[in-house]
Amino acid sequence: MKNLSRYIPVLDWGRSYNSTALSNDMIAAVIVTIMLIPQSLAYALLAGLPPEAGIYASIAPIILYAIFGTSRALAVGPVAVISLMTAAAVGQVAETGTMGYAMAALSLAMLSGAILLIMGIFRLGFLANFLSHPVIAGFITASGILIAASQLKHILGVDAGGHTLIEMVWSLITHLDQTNLITLGIGVTATAFLFWVRKGLKRALLNMGVGARMADVAQKAGPVAAVVVTTLATWGFGLADRGVAIVGEVPQSLPPLTLPDLSPSLLGQLFVPALLISIIGFVESISVAQTLAAKKRQRINPNQELIGLGAANLGAGFTGGYPVTGGFARSVVNFDAGAETPAAGAYTAVGLAIAAVALTPLVFFLPKATLAATIIVAVLSLVDLSILKKTWGYSLADFAAVAATIVLTLGFGVEAGVSAGVVLSIVLHLYKTSRPHVAEVGLVPGTQHFRNINRHQVETADSLLTIRIDESLYFANARFLEDLVLDRVVEDCPIKDVVLMCSAVNEIDMSALETLEALNSRLGDMGVRLHMSEVKGPVTDRLKRTHFLEEMTGDLFLSQYDAWVKLSGKA
C-alpha cells in the first residue's frame, strides 16, 4: 500500500482524512468555486472557445489532480497564460468559432497531458530547470501585457484582432470609430470596480467592523458581483439589442465525453505548442505548489506532479475542455481559505458541476466586456517590469535574456517568446559555465586555508601555481581552463608545478578528460608537472577507470595544504 500511495497520493492523505479537514476543505471549495465561475468563463473567452469549455476544463481535471497530485493546496484549471498559448496554437490550425477549433483544443489538451505523463513516468521533472527564473518572469510579464491588450477589443466592443502587440494595437486603432459607447461604459466601470475590489474592498470592510474571514470572502466574490450587476443591467435595459456583445446560450449540462482528433497531421502541428504549454504549465504549477507547501512544512514530488497534471490534461481532453495547470491566484485563495487536502479541489469540481447544470442559463445576458475586465484585472498582477531593473543591476546577461524574451513575446507572439525563453535559458547557462570562475590561490598565513591572491594577503611560491576551479569541467569550458593555465605558465618561467584545486568540481566529462590529458602532455613538454588536489570521491573513482592518473606527471593530493607542504619548499 505504501508503494502504491507514492503514485496515487490520495491513498496517503485519504487514510487520515477527518471531519476537521472536511469542514476546512468545504469552506475553501465554496470560496474557490465562487471565484472560479467567472474566471473559467473568462479564460475560455481568452482561449477563443465557447464559455462552457472553461467550466468543463475545471471539473474532471480538478478531480483527477486530487487523485494523482501531491500538492494539498494547488487549484488546477484554466489559467490566463495557458489560455493565451492555446489560442495562439489552435489558431494556427483552425478558425476561431468552428468545430475544428474546439476539436484542436481537445487534441492539444490530450497531447499536453500525454507529454506531462511521459515526463512524470520517466522522472524528467528536472527539464523544467532549463527555464531560468528571469526568463520565466520576462515571458509571464510579456504574456500579461499581451493578454490585457487582447481584451481591449471586448472593452471597446469592436471586432479587432492580432497575435502580437503591434498587430493588436494597430487593429484597435483602425477600429476605434466602431466603438460601442455602452460596451465601453460597462467595460471601464467593471474594470475600475474590480481593481477597487482587489485593492480597497477588504480594507473598507475591516474599517466598518466586518470580520476578517467575511471581508476576505467578499473580496474574492467581487467578480461575481460584477457579473451579476452587469448581467441584470444588460437584461433589464435590453442592451444586447443596442450592440452590447453577450455570452449568449451556454449548454446546461455536465461535461460531455469527447474524443480528440487523433489524426497524425494535426498532432504533428500541435506537438511543439503542446510541449511548450506543458513546460510552462509545469513550471508555473510547481512553483506555486512548492511555495505553498513550504508554508506548512510539506513536500512536493515534482515527478508525481507531472503525472497529476498529465492526468488532469488528459481529463480535459476527453471532457470538452482545453489545457490546464495550477493557477497562482486560485491556489493562494484555496490555501488562505484553509484547504487542508486535495479534496478541496474535488468539492470545487462538484460546485462547478452544479453550476454547469443549474446556473448557466443565468449568464445568457452576461456582457463579454465584464469577462474581459475580469481577465485584465487578473493578468495585470502578473506584469512585473521591475525584473528589468533588477537584472540590469545584477547581471547584464540575465537582463539581455529577460529583455529579449519580453521583446520577442510582444513582437512575435507567445510561441516565439517561450521558444526563445527556452533557448536563451540554455544559452545563458552554457555561456556562464563556459567561462567558469577560476582563481589563483595562495596560503593564508597561520592557517591551512587558501584564498584568491587578488582578494587576500596570502603566501605564494615562485615555482608553484595553484588554480582553484569553481565549476564542474565539461565540453564547453575545459578548453578555457587549458588556455588559462598555459598562458599563465608561459608568462612565468620559474613555475615548475601546477596544482588544480578541484574542491568545487563535481564532474569531469570525457571532453574535459581529454583536455586534461592534453594539458598534462603540454606541461610535461615544458618541464612542468601537473598535480590535482581535493578531488571528490566520485570524480576520483571515474578518473581511476582511465589511464589519466597513471600518466599524470604529478601527484593526486588529499588536500591543498598537503600539496603546498610538498611543493612550495616553504614548509
- Each domain of the chain, given as residue ranges in start order, spans 2-10+21-382, 438-567
Q: Which residues are CB-contacts of 94 (< 8 A; sequence separation ≥ 6)?
A: 100, 101, 103, 104
Intervals of the chain under pLDDT 50: none
C-alpha cell at 220: 474574492
Nearest to 402 by CA among 165, 88, 129, 132: 132
pLDDT of residue 434: 85
Does CATH number 3.40.50.2300 belong to domain 438-567? no
Q: What's the residue count for the chain?
A: 571
Q: Which residues are CB-contacts of 437 (< 8 A; sequence separation ≥ 6)?
A: 470, 471
Identify the bridge partners of residue 194 per DSSP, sorted by sequence position: none
**Cα–Cα distance for residue pair 79/54, rounded to 1 Å:** 10
Task: Name the pairing type of β-strands 76-77 and 325-326.
Answer: antiparallel
**Cα–Cα distance for residue pair 400/334, rounded to 1 Å:** 36
pLDDT of residue 278: 93
pLDDT of residue 571: 59
C-alpha cell at 399: 537582463
pLDDT of residue 90: 94
